């Protein structure tokens, strides 16, 4: 019985180690940035959600109309922050990278889109 418990424990440990290593490799080239975007309505959100995820290298997108922010997870070897800002610009929005600790007063700027 002890031998079976040992085998099960070692198997679980090996599977856990393999999964952790695989996840680390998967996330290695990924970066998440928050962009402040000049959006002001639900149509803006829909436009962004229908386009930005299809940019090369984009893995995840979270859009907050209330905060006027888009959190984008992307592969650094496929795209860059500059290319993502350009993608927002092509849609008619201005976008800039949110700096850590940036407060709400700095974020509230007039919207500038078509």
Question: Which sign, positive or negative, has the C-alpha torsion 36, 42, 93, 27?
Answer: positive
| Cα–Cα distance, 48 to 70 (Å, whole number) | 9
Which pLDDT tens digit goes with each residue over 57-105?
999 999 999 999 999 999 999 999 999 999 999 999 999 999 876 655 4
Q: What is the share, in percent, of the chain residues with pLDDT greater than 90?
A: 61
Q: What is the mean pLDDT of residues 14-38?
A: 75
- Give how many domains the chain has, as a whole number: 1
pTM, full prediction: 0.67
**Residue at 99 is within a domain:** yes
**Residue at 36 is within a domain:** yes
**Residue at 34 is within a domain:** yes
Boundaries of domain holding 101: 29-107
**Residue at 19 is within a domain:** no
**Residue at 50 is within a domain:** yes
CATH number at residue 93: 3.30.70.100
**Residue at 98 is within a domain:** yes
């Amino acid at each position: 019985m002890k031998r079976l418990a040992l085998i099960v424990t070692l198997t679980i440990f090996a599977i856990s180690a393999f999964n952790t290593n695989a996840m680390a490799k998967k996330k290695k080239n990924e970066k998440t940035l928050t962009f402040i975007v000049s959006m002001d309505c639900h149509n803006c959100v829909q436009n962004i959600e229908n386009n930005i995820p299809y940019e090369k290298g984009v893995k995840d997108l979270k859009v907050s109309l209330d905060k006027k922010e888009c959190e984008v997870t992307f592969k650094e070897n496929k795209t860059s922050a500059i290319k993502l800002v350009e993608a927002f610009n092509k849609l008619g929005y201005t976008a800039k990278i949110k700096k850590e600790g940036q407060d709400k007063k700095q974020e509230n700027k007039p919207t500038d889109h078509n």
